[in-house]
Amino acid sequence: MAVEMDIAKSFHEPSFQGAAKAGKRERVFELSLPALVKGLEAAGQRFEERTSVCAISAQEASFRLKSRLLIGSKVVLALEIPRTLILEKPLRMVLTGAVIYVRFEAGSNGQNQFVSVRLERGFRLLPNPYPSS
């Protein structure tokens, strides 16, 4: 009888084990946003390259670059956020962070690197003077 009561009780109570796993995961958005990446490449030269963000979360952003970067390199990422039904004018979100992952990719359109950056907490929202069409 007690076993039946425990089973019935378990169907109506939330599972803390599942909630803990969900709490540890952060939401990652797989989208394509135009971006401008600035920083120092592996050779120590300043670079500025246009790309698209492949995925972004509160802590990380991933994208592809032709410029060679080293793990630990500091970069500035300026995302171009387009106008939407809710957002009247396009914005530019400026984020900074450090490279945490680099994977070389040889492909038909040249040699690129897939890069992941650990984002710092602070960011700036600015009007986008050059909205993409």
Domains present along the chain, CATH in parentheses: 31-127 (2.30.110.10)
C-alpha 52: how far from chain center: 11
Cβ-based neighbour number of residue 8 at 10 Å: 9
Q: What is the pLDDT of residues 42-99, one digit of tens each?
A: 999 999 999 999 999 889 999 999 999 999 999 999 998 888 788 788 888 899 999 9
C-alpha 36: how far from chain center: 13
- Residue 86 is predicted with a pLDDT of 82
Which carries the bigger pLDDT value, residue 57 or residue 27?
A: 57
Cβ-based neighbour number of residue 54 at 10 Å: 17
